[in-house]
Every structure is written in C-alpha cells, then in structure tokens.
Amino acid sequence: MGFLSPITALIAAGIAIPLLVSLYFLKLRRRQVMISSTLLWKKAIQDMQVNSPFQRLRKSLLLLLQLLILGALLFAMARPTLETVASPGQRVVIVIDHSASMNATDISPTRLDEAKEAAIELIDNLNAVGESDGSSEAAGGAMVVSFAQGARVRQSLSNDPAKLRDAVRRIEPTDQVSQLGPALNLIEPYIQAISDDESDKLVVYIISDGRVLGGGQTMSLAGAELRYIPIGGGPGGMAGAADPDNLGIISFSARRDFDKPEIVQVFARVANFGSKSVSANLTLTLDGQVSRVQPIKLQPAPPRTDSATPSTSTNHIASVQFDFVLPGSALVQLSHDYDDQLTSDNTVRLTLAPARRLRVLLVTRGNTFLAKGIQSAGVRQLSFMTPEKFEDQDPVSLRRGGWDAAGASGLAGEGFDVIVFDAYSPTTTPKVDSLYFASAPPIQAIKRIPSNEDDPASQRILTWERDHPLLRYVVLDDVILSQPGRLVVSSQATVMATGQSGPIMAEVVQDGVRHVVASFDILKSNWPIKVSFPVFLGNTVQTLGLGGLADDAGIAYRTGEIATIPMDTAGSLTYTGPVPLSVIRTQGTAVLPVFTRVGLYNADKKINPPFDRLGVNLLAPEESDIRTADILNVSSVAAGTTAKTSTFRREVWRWFIWAALAVMLIEWLIYTRRMHL
C-alpha cells in the first residue's frame, strides 16, 4: 500500500495525537459540594483522591477507541492507494465497454457501474500524479471513449478532471453487442497526432469484461500501450468476484407452413453459460396468454479462458420447437424462469404477421414461361392483364386492399402485392413493388436502352452480385441472351448484373416503392429452361411481396439494427418502449433510430400489423456468455502495442473514513453506557 499525501498526514498526526493523549493526563478541579452519600459516585471518588492537576495515565478503552478513530482519519488524509503494476502515462485514453454483458449483476450493482468507478479512480490518480509533480494538470491529459456496437468520444483530450469524471458518469447502459474495432479506429488519429513527439506516450486503458467481437477483422492499435482492466467474474475476472451464472436465449424465429400458412412453427435455442447444471421452464405466450410451457435441463458450460476460441461442446445448449395454429397476427414471446445475472437475454419476442399468400398481377400479351415461373413461387393467385387494360387502371387502386376495378380474374377489392411487366413499360409509375423484363418504369433513376444493330447477336452475363437477396443461389454463367439491351442507372440504383454492353439488371427504390428491372426479354434467351430462372422469380416475388417477411413469419429486430416502417399517412411516428423512438415520415417509410435496449416498442398511431408492435432482442451468444475473458486479443502491429491484463492505483481513503465512523459509533455506545446511572 502506498500514500499520495503522507507528509500532510504526518504533520496532522504530530499535532492531533499529543493533544488527545494530554486530555487523559489532565485532571479537572471540581467544586466541593456536600452530598448525603457517595455510593453511586465511585468513579467520582477516584478522581477526588488526586489533588494535583496531572494524573497517572491509566488503562482506558475510550482512549484506545479515540486513538483508532484519529488514526483512521489520519490514514484517510494520507490518501492510501493499493499497490499496482500499471502506472498512468503522460497521455491516457480511457475506453469503457457499455455493451449488454456489462449489465451483468455478478458485480454489484452492475459491471458497468464498477467500470465507471474504476475509470473515475483512474482519473483521480492521474490528477494526483500531476499534483505530485507540482503541476495542476492531469499528467498530460486524458480522454474518455465508450463503445458497444459503435464507439463514441465522450470527452476529447482534456486536463480537467471534473469534465472527465462527468463524461464517465454520463455513459448509459445498452443491450448492444460489443465491438472494440470502432473504438480503436477513433483512438488511432490521436496516436498519429503525437507520434512526432517521442517524449509523449499514449496509454490506452480498456475497461471491459473482454466479451468483444472483432467484426471478422483483426483488431490492432499501433503506437500506443494497451492495458486491459477486466471487470466481472470468470477466468480472468476481478479478485473476489462471483462466478457468473447466466441462461440465455440465443436464437428465435417463426415460420409458416408453405401449403397451410395458418400453421406456425416457432424455433428457439437456449444456452447455459454457467458452471453448474440448470433446470428451467420455457414459457411461450401469444398476446400475453400462455400457450406452451416446456421444461429444460442443461449441463454446465465447458471451460473457456480465451474469448477468441469458441467451444465446440453442445451439451449446454437446447433446441426447442413449438407448433400451433394461428391465421392472424399476434405478439409471440418466449421467456425462461431461471434467476441468473443477466436479464437482457431472458425474454425474446416477435410480432407474427397474418397468414398471407401473395397475389401477383402479370401484365403481358402472353408468356407461358413467365407465368409458370411465377406460379412456382407459391403465390395465392396469379392474375393476367393486357397492357391496354392496365392503362385503364388507377395505379393507387392496384395496391392490395384498395383495388376495386373489374377485369382481373374476378378478384375485385383485394389488389396485388407484386406486379410483373413483360416487355411493356407503363406510362405511369406503379404504386406496387414491381418486376420488369425488357421494360422499365417511367422514372429518372433508371432507363432501358435497346440493343444497337452492331451489338453482338448473343451475349453472356459477365458478373452478378451473388450476395444480393434477389440472386441467392442463382447461377447466371450459362445464360445466353439475344439483344439484351442495357440500363442507364443513377447513383440511387443498385446494379445487380452486368452484360457485355453494360448493366442489364438493377433495382431502385422511389417513394417507398421498389422496382427491379431486367433489360432483356426472357423469350429471347435460354434462361427459362435453366434451374436459376424459377429460383430468381421465387426470390424476387417473395422479397417484393413480403419485404422483411420473406424469410420469417414475424417481425423482430436485434439491438444495433435500424427498422424501416411503411407508412401511408404523413406526419411523425413515435414508438413507446424501453427507449422512446420518434421519426418523421419520408417517401412512404419511417426509419427508426438504432435500437439500444431490448424490449417491446408500441406505435402511437394505427399501423398495419406486424409493424404496430416491434420486438427487439439480444440474441447474441457472445454477450450471453458473461464469463470475463483473461486476455483481450489485439494484434501487435507496431512496438508498444500490447494485449495484457493490467491494474491501476486505487485510492482506498474512503474505507478509513467508514472505519472511523464505525469506531466512533462504538465509542459513543460505550461512553453512554458508562454514564448511565
């Protein structure tokens, strides 16, 4: 143990201790008064037997307690600190993790609160270094950075300890995953700014539980000394911290049956990240009503000491499935009843969309290949319309739920989810998501240019975006096109495929409506006889018609994601929940801010299901595993970069203040007991 102000405490001790002891040498002269009896005044009689002003120092419990009180106060005045191996550098960056796992309660009240206390003590110690050097500045300055899924500079480089402490206290908890890379990218410019001055040294303290992701890239920090301060229990955690215990739901999804959409299947996976076996009950509710209860029992999690090495054992993970019939919309919620140390992953939720088969309108003069391909995509009904008939329709009324014109297979009053244009470009822009072959919508963002006479008669597709949602599992290298033409697109459009003459497939979103355009005629190609043709139509029709529900039967989000909500009405939209979210409608959609906390968010105005209730979940195994990592994996790109566990000087004067108060209470109790007659 060391002291920051020992001289001040020694001077105070030299004055206060002799004064206290001298009070027990002095004897007060009392006025003599005649009384009838001294039976109850035995202590007073002992004092009366001495006539001199000084007396021999006798054993006294009160004197001992008062010396203890004074000693504790003098120790606090000396500002004692715990011995450490880490010493602050001339310039310091304090990086604080406030991701979901930092809300664990194995450290009371939470890990984040402990991390903030550690950061404030670092700031106090940096200020003390400056005072010991005779300066008023905090050892060259410090800055505060917080990180979860993103990073933010809370306080730029400053010598004001009050500003630094306030920046630390303003850090709020989140339920996002933890990614250290953005924080390191924020720090790097400051390293480059002082790299010319060799006398300066940047020390980066990362206060975290080590449950961080590299985002698929190697994390590095060159030109600075990196020190990791672990928070929480586990292999590399704090001394005396409890062994963390957590049961988390790590995946959750719902599917509707392809042939019978009213049948719903819900899938979930639950993992035990504690060191003991766990028994719990999973409860599935529909709009708050209990639908299923299933007990589970999981084995302890396998030992894990390196956060970068995932375990291959699955005995601590259980997969569950629930089947039920529900044609309409409902809030589906799954939770467990195990009392663990992280609540963010105990409950998951999603809004189930109503059972719905797609309704598609094909505007064509006749194309059997295209009609059969669309029918194979699982549409409820495919309607046909000639280009001349389409021009007589109101574009707004063609949207599903508002179309009431006759002439489309007798399906008046329901409208369509998707419109497919075959070799015909409409004169007005449809208000329904659409697919175009050998045609294009009448908008400025995308134009179709027919093939020139000197273009090759047959062309191949050179490149295509294999990761695009509409081109999943689509192989185009064997497709031959005749006179495909090309597309002229603006920066608003996304090119999906390119031929020998230029872009031949692209998509663009305008006024909230999605348009997918192919410049070629499928009847002038061999694509209809290839397996990739129905696969592409299935991807496109499902994605255009169902949007975010193309893969799942319900809407659910994860923390860190952004939600785009379709809106037909103008004005603002507010969702109430763990954090209020407000947006302004733009081009038929509302874009919500990034979700930071898990929970249920409800719209303040009428929105069509399933967007009226938004479920936000964690669903991150790396955050549910709250065992503190003993090593923070950051690569050494240049000299001075380390990835070691470190501690810091911790002032403990508050402990002595509390000890002095406790002894003072004991001294008061003893004194009052002796004075009681």
Which residue did the predictor score with more confidence, 347 or 632?
A: 347
Q: What is the pLDDT of residue 472?
A: 87
pLDDT, position 8:
78
Residue 277 has pLDDT above 90, yes or no: yes
Please report the pLDDT score of residue 511 as a whole number.
Answer: 80
| 155, burial (CB in 10 Å: exposed 0-12, middle 13-18, buried 19+) | buried
In single-letter form, the type of residue at position 128 comes to A
- State the pLDDT at residue 133: 45
pLDDT of residue 141: 81
**Whole-number pLDDT of residue 48:** 52
User: What is the 3-class SS of 106-148, one letter each residue?
Assistant: CCCCCHHHHHHHHHHHHHHHHHHHHHHCCCCCCCCCEEEEEEC
* DSSP secondary structure, 409-477, as one string: TT-TTT-BSEEEEES---SS--SS-EEEES---S-TTEEEEPPPTTS-SEEEEEEE-TTSGGGTT---T
Q: Which helix (H) or strand (E) holds 253?
A: strand 247-256
The H helix count followed by the E strand count for the chain is 11, 33
pLDDT of residue 411: 41
Average pLDDT over residues 468-487: 92
The predicted pLDDT at position 611 comes to: 84
How many Cβ atoms are within 10 Å of 122's Cβ, its own excluded? 24
**Mean pLDDT, range 262-282, rounded to an integer:** 94
- Range of lowest pLDDT (53-62, 318-327, 457-466): 53-62
Where b means 16+ CB within 10 Å and e means fewer, 272-297 reads: bbbeeebebebbbbbeeeebeebebe
Res. 190 pLDDT band, cuts 50 70 90: confident
Most confident of 233-247, 420-434, 450-464: 420-434
Q: Is the pLDDT of residue 499 over 80?
A: yes
pLDDT-based confidence at residue 660 (cuts at 50, 70, 90):
confident
Residue 423 has pLDDT above 80, yes or no: yes
> All domains of the chain, ordered by start, with CATH?
2-81+657-675 (no CATH), 91-242+627-651 (3.40.50.410), 247-355+619-624 (2.60.40.10), 359-549 (3.40.50), 554-608 (no CATH)
What pLDDT, in 10s, does the model give residues 394-414? 877 787 753 333 333 334 446
Buried b or exposed e, range 542-579, using 16+ CB within 10 angstroms: bbbbbbbbeebbbbbbbbbeebebebeeeeebebebeb
Residue 151, pLDDT score: 94
The pLDDT score that the predictor gives to residue 488 is 95
Q: pLDDT band for 426, please (50, 70, 90 cuts).
A: very high
Among 88-97, 156-165, 582-591, where is mean pLDDT lowest?
A: 582-591
- Tens digits of per-residue pLDDT, 290-314? 999 999 999 999 986 554 445 566 8
Alpha-carbon separation of residue 408 from 361, 400, 655 (angstroms)? 8, 13, 82
pLDDT at 238: 64
* Residue with more model confidence, 174 or 196: 174
Structure confidence at residue 40 (pLDDT): 58
CA atoms within 13 A on the CB side of 269: 13
Task: State the pLDDT at residue 353.
Answer: 81
Rounded distance between C-alpha atoms, residue 483 and residue 477, angstroms: 17
pLDDT at position 136, please? 42
- Reported as a single tens digit per residue, the pLDDT across 65-86 is 778 888 888 877 877 766 543 4
Residue 389 has pLDDT above 70, yes or no: yes
Give the confidence band of 87 by pLDDT, cuts at 50, 70, 90: very low
pLDDT of residue 457: 80
The burial class, CB within 10 Å (0-12 / 13-18 / 19+), for 516 is buried
In tens, the pLDDT along 524-579 reads 999 999 999 999 998 898 888 876 565 567 889 999 998 878 776 667 788 999 99
Position 373 scores a pLDDT of: 92
In this predicted model, which residue has the larger pLDDT, 571 or 610? 610
Give the CA diameter of the chain. 137
Q: What is the mean pLDDT of the chain?
A: 81
Percentage of residues in the chain having pLDDT higher than 90: 44
**507 or 261, higher pLDDT:** 507
Report for 56-60, 374-378, 582-586: range of highest mean pLDDT: 374-378
